A and B are shown apart, each in its own frame.
Chain A
Amino acid sequence: DSGVTQTPKHLITATGQRVTLRCSPRSGDLSVYWYQQSLDQGLQFLIQYYNGEERAKGNILERFSAQQFPDLHSELNLSSLELGDSALYFCASGQGTENIQYFGAGTRLSVL
């Protein structure tokens, strides 16, 4: 158990809908990272937050957004969902300094 908690484990929704994925980092970690894993793309970095502030952006679509709250949990919002958004979404946390990121169990999103 990495100590990173993600909910929900599975999400099934329809095209055009909006969903929110939630992540609680390990105790003491200030950084939260979001990744998308699909069969054809592998693990792709989406966005990082550090102590409530956005720090880095990767290949994140404009339809996607994230935030980190004062208690350090983070949410990833995906809107106007398309079939191609079906993937595993991982949250990771870390100190932000020594580069090791610890991953949660992921949320499997299925867009039908």
Chain B
Amino acid sequence: EDKVVQSPLSLVVHEGDTVTLNCSYEVTNFRSLLWYKQEKKAPTFLFMLTSSGIEKKSGRLSSILDKKELFSILNITATQTGDSAIYLCAAPNNAGNMLTFGGGTRLMVKP
């Protein structure tokens, strides 16, 4: 059974801080790892990391994948209050038709 575990469970930081969120995975026939941001409701897609794309960056957010150690991290630099959300990582199954999600990291950024 595929498994995705995220840590920490929650994090409280102040604006301007840098945070690192962790995601470890055990999946059969790794295809990719996805990061989502969930604010009020819908998870919104951030990054997809694959064997051929192990590092992604968008503005203050960046993510890397370590296929050997089976984990990924999501970095957010110069955090803002708008970064407050639950961050989810997920891995598709072997057939690529279902995502197994981690439990999420709840990030709160205080002014």
Query: Is B31 an interface residue, CB under 8 A from the partner?
Result: yes
Q: By the criterion CB–CB under 8 Å, are A43 and B41 in contact?
A: no
Q: Which residues of A contact B (CB under 8 A)?
A: 2, 4, 31, 33, 35, 42-45, 48, 50, 55-56, 58, 88, 90, 96-106
Q: By the criterion CB–CB under 8 Å, are B42 and A103 in contact?
A: yes
Partner of B45, one of A35, A50, A102, A105: A102
Partner of B48, one of A33, A35, A99, A106: A99
Interface of A is mostly: strand
Q: Chain B: how many interface residues by the 8 Å CB criterion?
A: 24
Interface of B is mostly: strand
Q: Which residues of B contact A (CB under 8 A)?
A: 31-32, 34, 36, 41-45, 48, 88, 90, 92-93, 95-104
- Output the least CB separation between A94 and chain B (Å): 9
Residue among B48, B88, B99 having the largest count of chain A Cβ atoms under 10 Å: B99
Partner of B101, one of A4, A43, A102: A43
Residues of B contacting A58 in the complex (Cβ-Cβ under 8 angstroms): 98
A5 and B44 CA atoms in complex are apart in Å by 14
Partner of B34, one of A4, A42, A100, A106: A100
**4 smallest beta-carbon distances between A and B, as pairs:** A43-B101, A45-B98, A56-B97, A99-B92
Q: By the criterion CB–CB under 8 Å, are B96 and A97 in contact?
A: yes
User: Could you pull out 15 A-B pairs where Cβ atoms are within 8 angstroms?
Assistant: A2-B45, A33-B98, A35-B99, A45-B99, A48-B97, A55-B97, A90-B43, A99-B48, A99-B96, A99-B99, A100-B48, A101-B45, A103-B44, A104-B42, A105-B42
Residues of A contacting B45 in the complex (Cβ-Cβ under 8 angstroms): 2, 100-103
A102 and B41 CA atoms in complex are apart in Å by 13
- Taking CB as reference atom, which chain A residue is nearest B104? A42
A103 and B48 CA atoms in complex are apart in Å by 15
